[in-house]
Amino acid sequence: MQVDFSNNYFELFELPVQFDVLQDQLDTRFRSLQRYLHPDKFAAAADAEKRWSMQAASFVNEAYQTLCSPLKRASYLLTLNGITLDEETDTQMSPMFLMEQMELREALADAPDATDPYVALDKIAAQLNAGRTSSADEFREAAQQEDWVRARTVVRQWQFLEKLASEVQSQEARLDDAH
């Protein structure tokens, strides 16, 4: 077994470079890479080799985290195809999409004062989950057609949904704490 830093994450995990990955295959390969790079195996090795093994382990971890998350995987595929997200500098988005995001944010802000805050949060979460699923479907289609402009738009919108979903979760956690 070897870890080649010039490989992309898909190659490292012996997977085809495509959006859909088999989680089982990903996990199996991750475990064998982890075993191969285990610090115990390098306890007696030279310093340079120890350093290499640590760098390799962090490369493998980064690759695994990226490939496990559908959004990160999609962003990574864009990067491999030379597409940048410009997530800090390009602020132009579909006005319709931004309007929806604003409404969802308003709903989230109002949720704690709802008759049943959990129901209110569930409603938002359901809407976000539907959006995340359709983002994945749309990305897969765009990537298959190598329509990277569309794929980029999908990922940029998907980032909003993911961010908001994590905020819904922290709201829920705060509610739990308050009870």
Partner 1 sequence: MAYSDKVLDHYENPRNVGVLDKDDPNVGTGMVGAPACGDVMRLQIKVSDDGVVEDAKFKTYGCGSAIASSSLVTEMVKGKTLEEVAAIKNAEIVEELALPPVKIHCSVLAEDAIAAALADIKAKREEQQKASA
- 52 versus 97: smaller Cβ distance to partner 1: 97
Q: Does 102 bind partner 1 (CB under 8 A)?
A: yes
Region binding partner 1 by CB under 8 A among candidate stretches 59-67, 135-143, 158-166, 171-179: 158-166
Q: Token pair of 44, please?
A: 């007696």
Q: Does 160 bind partner 1 (CB under 8 A)?
A: yes
Compute the chain's Rg from CA coordinates.
Answer: 20
Backbone angles phi, psi at 14, to 5 degrees: 55, 45
∠102-70-117 over CA atoms, to 5°? Answer: 40
List Cβ<8 Å contacts ≥24 apart for 105-112: 105/164, 108/164, 108/167, 108/168, 108/171, 111/171, 112/171, 112/175
Near partner 1 by CB under 8 A: residue from 14, 20, 87, 110:
87
Shortest distance in whole angstroms from residue 42 CB to partner 1:
36
The residue among 8, 176, 20, 152 whose CA lies nearest residue 87 is: 152
Shortest distance in whole angstroms from residue 14 CB to partner 1:
31
Q: What residues from 27 to 86 belong to the interface with partner 1 (CB under 8 A)?
A: 85
Q: Does 157 bind partner 1 (CB under 8 A)?
A: yes
Which residues here bind partner 1, judged by CB under 8 A? 85, 87-89, 91-93, 95, 97-99, 101-102, 105, 109, 155-157, 159-160, 162-164
